[in-house]
Amino acid sequence: MIRARVAGTGSYIPEKVLTNLDLEKFLDTSDEWIVTRTGIRERHIAAVDENTSDLASEAARQALQMAGVGAEEIDLIVVGTVTGEFNFPSTACLVQKNLNARRAFAFDVSAACSGFLFALSNAVNYHRSGAVKRSLVIGAEVMSRTVDWKDRNTCVLFGDGAGALVLVNDESERGILSTHLHTDGSFWELLFQPRPSGWGPGASAEHATQEMGFLKMQGNEVFKVAVKLLSDVALEALAANGLTRDELKLIFPHQANKRILDAIGKRLGLSADKIFVNVDRVANTSSASIPIALDEANRQGLLAPQDLILINAFGGGFTWGSALIRW
Ligand code: ACO
């Protein structure tokens, strides 16, 4: 059986840091409130001339370097993002150009904060079918351009960044064991971003304002559903593979809020040292959050061949999913 195995990881986080103390200077908020409610201390913000495809390309270059794979050997590029600089072409097309990955076909996947997991699942199926041998799966976002910097309910939560994996075919027991994806569109109004042009329900281009295009969220409703579904989908992945939580080396949940991570740990009966956390330093980077976390852990030497790890994500839509990986 052909499996997609992770051969390299990479990430790119913009240089500019925005701390909670920086936010206090222009927003009615406090470091104490943000840390207590979210665990976030700082986030990184893309420079004005940095776009999602730039972040994605840099993360991809690092992953290729680690894997020892040339861009020209890549068959497929999938990018999970909701903040591409164009409606079209896709961010993946721009990454293909930037890397000069000439033989790769490339497309984006839109599943909000679950975008990376949905992108990964797509790529895994291309590997399994034998259609591709080497792929790049990327999560990249410039969330700082989606939020209203006057809205303390949302802007404090997000940050910018990108993470990437190089996948290669493997016929051993290593690789991505399974992916599990779900959607419930009836929840769309709890978390969404209208088109800035004013398209969409209740708006017309004629009356469009910049504010209309900002991300909207009912945070506490999202919180409750996120904890339940992130936990359920983790258990689903374990059950599907006949594995137990005790066999997990680490889990990498979508980094939205430290309280969500703690609640998942409690529901799954996992000790805190099994849950990777970097939300304090990068905040919620949407679909970039899991691949950035994987790259950090990998470069810190926390992941060894054969380790069993689980990733699980949740995002607007609602969308949610998980994957079990034999590293
Ligand atoms: N600073 C100070 N006060 C604030 C801030 C802030 N930044 N933001 C909100 N408040 C205030 C509110 O106005 C409210 O005041 P009020 O009682 O006078 O009206 C009070 O704090 C409590 O607000 P709640 O929304 O009830 O606070 P809660 O404890 O639920 O925390 C939070 C809010 C952090 C947004 C939490 O609900 C959360 O994290 N939800 C999940 C959101 C999330 O992770 N979304 C993304 C997941 S999917 C994806 O990544 C796209």
Which residue, of 172, 192, 212, is where some domain finishes?
A: 172
Angle at 178 between CA 246 and CA 225, to 5 degrees: 75
Same structural domain for residues 232 and 115? Answer: no
* Mutation probe of ligand 1 site: the residue of 40, 142, 218, 257 with most atoms within 8 A of C-beta: 257
Same structural domain for residues 128 and 207? Answer: no
Task: Centre a 10 Å sphere on the Cβ of residue 170 and count the other Cβ atoms it contains.
Answer: 18
Same structural domain for residues 146 and 258? Answer: no
DSSP 8-state class, residue 201? T
Same structural domain for residues 163 and 23? Answer: yes
Per-position pLDDT tens, the chain of length 327: 899 999 999 999 999 999 999 999 999 999 999 999 999 999 999 999 999 999 999 999 999 999 999 999 999 999 999 999 999 999 999 999 999 999 999 999 999 999 999 999 999 999 999 999 999 999 999 999 999 999 999 999 999 999 999 999 999 999 999 999 999 999 999 999 988 765 666 556 566 667 778 999 999 999 999 999 999 999 999 999 999 999 999 999 999 999 999 999 999 999 999 999 999 999 999 999 999 999 999 999 999 999 999 999 999 999 999 999 999
CA-to-CA distance for 80 and 215, rounded, in angstroms? 18
- Domain containing residue 237: CATH number: 3.40.47.10
Question: What is residue 290's predicted lDDT score, i.e. its pLDDT?
Answer: 98
Same structural domain for residues 162 and 185? Answer: no
Which residue, of 172, 200, 219, is where some domain finishes?
A: 172
Partners of residue 232 on adjacent β-strands? none
Strand intervals (E) in 113-269: 134-142, 160-170, 175-183, 191-192, 216-217, 250-253
Which residue, of 107, 140, 172, is where some domain finishes?
A: 172
Question: What is residue 212's predicted lDDT score, i.e. its pLDDT?
Answer: 73
The answer, yes or no, to whether any atom of ligand 1 lies below 6 A from the CB of 318, is no
Question: What is residue 287's predicted lDDT score, i.e. its pLDDT?
Answer: 98
The answer, yes or no, to whether any atom of ligand 1 lies below 6 A from the CB of 29, is yes
- Atom of ligand 1 at shortest distance to CA of 286? 50
**Considering only CA atoms, which of 150, 164, 153 is closest in space to residue 52?**
164
**Considering only CA atoms, which of 250, 269, 272 is closest in space to residue 261?**
272
* Mutation probe of ligand 1 site: the residue of 187, 222, 225, 255 with most atoms within 8 A of C-beta: 222
- Catalytic residue check, 254: yes
Closest residue to atom 29 of ligand 1, CA basis: 37
Give phi and psi for 215, each to the nearest 5: -60, 135
The answer, yes or no, to whether any atom of ligand 1 lies below 6 A from the CB of 292, is no
User: Is the distance from CB of 216 to CB of 222 less than 8 angstroms?
Assistant: no
Same structural domain for residues 168 and 208? Answer: no
User: Is the distance from CB of 39 to CB of 263 less than 8 angstroms?
Assistant: no
Same structural domain for residues 36 and 125? Answer: yes
Q: Given 20, 51, 122, 284, which residue is catalytic?
A: 284
Same structural domain for residues 202 and 120? Answer: no
Amino acid (1-letter code) at residue 207: H
**Considering only CA atoms, which of 179, 95, 143, 165 is closest in space to residue 316?**
143
DSSP 8-state class, residue 247? G
3-state secondary structure of 40: coil
The answer, yes or no, to whether any atom of ligand 1 lies below 6 A from the CB of 37, is yes
DSSP 8-state class, residue 284? B
Same structural domain for residues 160 and 190? Answer: no
The answer, yes or no, to whether any atom of ligand 1 lies below 6 A from the CB of 324, is no
Residue 81: exposure state from Cβ atoms within 10 A (0-12, 13-18, ≥19): buried
Question: What is residue 83's predicted lDDT score, i.e. its pLDDT?
Answer: 97
- Catalytic residue check, 207: no
- Catalytic residue check, 113: yes
Closest residue to atom 30 of ligand 1, CA basis: 220
User: Is the distance from CB of 211 to CB of 297 less than 8 angstroms?
Assistant: no
CA-to-CA distance for 161 and 61, rounded, in angstroms? 14
Same structural domain for residues 12 and 71? Answer: yes
Same structural domain for residues 145 and 185? Answer: no
The answer, yes or no, to whether any atom of ligand 1 lies below 6 A from the CB of 316, is yes
Q: What is the pTM of this model?
A: 0.96
Q: Residue 161's domain spans which residues?
A: 3-172
The answer, yes or no, to whether any atom of ligand 1 lies below 6 A from the CB of 251, is no
Domain total in the chain: 2
Same structural domain for residues 157 and 206? Answer: no
Amino acid (1-letter code) at residue 181: L
- Atom of ligand 1 at shortest distance to CA of 215? 51
